[in-house]
Structure 1
């Protein structure tokens, strides 16, 4: 039986925790990328999201970001390798504390938003990011897109890399994600479910113009900040199960 990890970005709220949305998404996923307070989240939200993941047996990962609460971590920032190393360590330590208190531990780390894209192409930032992961816990897996400098840097440091693809985002003909705001960038529920099955079962994706591209993934991402995140998560999980694909954390 084929196997795929289904991850989702979680805990991306402030003050009044969005327990309803996250609680509805969590049963359908196998890994949670939990915001660490830089692009979203706060201590209480982190604590409650970790507890929810433990309740559902979902693998806990740190979703680390540039310090950009106002822009939800989606604005590129100039940052030195030394500052990024410290920033990643800071966020890992914060979330790991809540995981430890809940009787769990971190399993993976994933960059968010602009940092995800900056570490895809910038080797120096990718190396700083992975050095921080190694220095904190060399057992953590690093999640990034295939071809990312982050996966190359992880391999150099003998860290486990997980190739990520996106169930709910459209792809361009170069294999990259369509820019947000362009037609087809965000997929509807039925489209996302079909794309998830194609990637997991056939190592392929149909890009925006209709061509079929090879795309191999260890983990599929859903975005938890969508208004329909719970419905999307259930639809994708159901489609994968119906296709005979086992959904299980890649780090289990």
Structure 2
């Protein structure tokens, strides 16, 4: 099982989360590419630290929305969105190459993640960006989503992702961040959710029912309170259950 986290989401002198501590725990790093968060210096620093630790680097691409942290939907022209995603992948790949590694997968961020899960034009724009830049790159996304379907149809490898620290609706989608139950922060609960995702391929929704969650990677958000402690608890829980943690790439 892969354990990933969103990293490099600071900007300039402002830091969000403890990137270096999380890189000691996770196996894959979704690195912000400068549109929703991040900047060239942060990108280079995180890529170098990931390479030193053998952590796979993925391009976490988002809307051009620093002020809103990429969590506000934007209605793009599909061609413009495609080109902006290519721009982000290429920028991060440049920093990776300097560090002796490369971008190994692509994952949308925030509102783009949620929109591409249900919106065909935006999902197709993301897929087109990946196929144009490097069709060997996997797409990390929600299982069964529109993005997953279009990516698979284009011949891309689709990697299903589950969120141990986010609430799920009975339909299998994430609870909106503005709604109660959006975040799960108790260590024991987050660890148990991660274990059930990894072993049983299910997650408990906010109504108490279980939802199918066929995943190869489990995400913990770097900006979640006590993210490092949560990640350590999840890693310990998974390894003690006999699961090997390694990048899905």
TM-score normalized by structure 2?
0.96
Output the CA distance in 2 between the equivalents of 1:213 and 1:144: 16
Extract structure 1 runs of 4+ deviating beyond 4 A. Answer: none
Q: Secondary structure at the match of 1:9?
A: strand
Residue number in structure 2 paired with 1:9: 6
Residue number in structure 1 paired with 2:148: 151
Q: Deviations along 1:49-74, whole A, 9 cap, x unmatched?
A: 00111111100000000000000000
Residue number in structure 2 paired with 1:231: 229
Q: Is the 8 A contact 1:17 1:45 kept in 2?
A: no
Q: Secondary structure at the match of 2:13?
A: coil
Output the CA distance in 1 between the equivalents of 2:178 and 2:192: 22
The question of 1:98 aligning with 2:131 is answered no
Output the CA distance in 2 between the equivalents of 1:177 and 1:20: 22
Bigger Cα displacement from structure 2, 236-245 vs 207-216? 207-216
Residue 17 to residue 71, structure 1, CA distance change in 2 (3 Å): closer
Residue number in structure 2 paired with 1:74: 71
Q: Secondary structure at the match of 1:96?
A: helix
Residue number in structure 2 paired with 1:111: 108
Which of residues 48, 53, 57 in structure 2 aligns to 1:56? 53
Bigger Cα displacement from structure 2, 48-57 vs 210-219? 210-219
How many aligned residue pairs are there? 248
**How big is the shift at 1:213?**
2.1
**How big is the shift at 1:17?**
6.3
Which of residues 174, 178, 184 in structure 2 aligns to 1:187? 184
Q: Deviations along 1:177-218, whole A, 9 cap, x unmatched?
A: 112133322112221111000010111111112112221101
Output the CA distance in 1 between the equivalents of 2:70 and 2:63: 6
Q: Deviations along 1:27-69, whole A, 9 cap, x unmatched?
A: 1111000000001000000000001111111000000000000
Q: Secondary structure at the match of 1:109?
A: strand
Q: Is the 8 A contact 2:10 2:16 kept in 1?
A: no
**How big is the shift at 1:19?**
8.9
Residue number in structure 1 paired with 2:240: 242
| RMSD after superposition | 1.3
Output the CA distance in 1 between the equivalents of 2:27 and 2:77: 34
Q: Secondary structure at the match of 1:247?
A: coil
Structure 1 runs not aligned, ≥5 long: none
Q: Is the 8 A contact 2:17 2:223 kept in 1?
A: no
Residue 133 to residue 100, structure 1, CA distance change in 2 (3 Å): same
Q: Is the 8 A contact 1:96 1:105 kept in 2?
A: yes
